[in-house]
């Protein structure tokens, strides 16, 4: 294949990745802000409505919670979600897919900033036994989702949070989360992605096209 064609394909993949990240981030930000996406592009407003319909049946997502941030401070949902936020549930002991997720979230925040939409990236650990405040604080030093502007305007609870097991009674149910013991997390992670998908990701992640495909999935 000519070098020019390869370059064009890589550029198209990069633009598509930015589009998907932007739509997802804007939809999540609008949902967490309690808005209907007013003022956003039509495609994003449709995505917001679709996500609302999908999350409307059965148990509702949300509810009050109490967590511990990377500084060891106890914070509530009112402090953490005081403004539109991009919330990511995960854990730091994840060598495969999670680093890609963090990079994608950072890119989504940058895209929203370019659109004039300020959001707070929030990482909530589901493995508080190992993701201690010290661990999250150390990880945050090299976190691609950290922005200097967010540090300058930092408020209580913004950034990384831990202690999902310390949520107020019932909050885990309202968030459609199931409790898992820390040593079950890697097994759950492998089962969720599937061995075949993990092997494909490791085999194809060397090319931009396949790496972007994995990110979109």
Annotated binding site for Cu cation: 94, 98
Residues belonging to the binding site are 94, 98
Q: Which residue has the tokens 């310390």?
A: 166
| Angstrom distance (rounded) from CA 217 to CA 166 | 31
CB 14 within 8 A of CB 208: yes
CA distance 94 to 116: 32
Instruction: Determine the Cα–Cα distance for residues 136 and 123; give it in Å rounded to an integer.
Output: 9
Contact partners, residue 32, CB within 8 Å, separation at least 6: 81, 84, 85, 86, 87
Cα torsion 53, 98, 202, 6: sign: positive
Phi and psi torsions of 173, nearest 5°:
-65, -45
How far are the Cα atoms of 68, 76, 92, 174, 193 from residue 135, in angstroms, in the given order?
A: 13, 21, 8, 27, 25
User: How much of the chain is helix, strand and coil, in % rounded to 5?
Assistant: 55, 10, 35
């Amino acid at each position: 294949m000519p070098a020019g064609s390869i370059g064009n394909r890589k550029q198209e993949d990069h633009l598509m990745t930015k589009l998907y990240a932007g739509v997802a981030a804007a939809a999540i930000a609008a949902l967490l802000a309690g808005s209907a996406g007013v003022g956003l592009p039509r495609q994003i407003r449709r995505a917001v409505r679709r996500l609302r319909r999908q999350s409307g049946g059965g148990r509702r997502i949300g509810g009050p919670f109490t967590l511990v941030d990377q500084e060891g401070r106890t914070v509530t949902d009112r402090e953490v979600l005081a403004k539109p936020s991009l919330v990511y549930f995960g854990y730091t002991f994840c060598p495969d897919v999670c680093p890609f997720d963090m990079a994608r979230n950072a890119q989504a925040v940058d895209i929203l900033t370019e659109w004039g939409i300020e959001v707070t990236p929030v990482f909530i650990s589901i493995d508080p036994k190992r993701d201690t405040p010290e661990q999250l604080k150390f990880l945050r030093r090299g976190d691609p989702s950290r922005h200097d502007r967010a540090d300058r305007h930092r408020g209580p609870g913004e950034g990384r949070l831990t202690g999902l097991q310390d949520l107020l009674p019932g909050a885990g149910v309202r968030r459609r989360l199931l409790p898992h013991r820390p040593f079950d997390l890697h097994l759950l992670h492998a089962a969720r992605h599937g061995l075949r998908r993990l092997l494909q990701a490791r085999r194809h992640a060397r090319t931009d096209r396949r790496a972007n495909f994995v990110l979109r999935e």
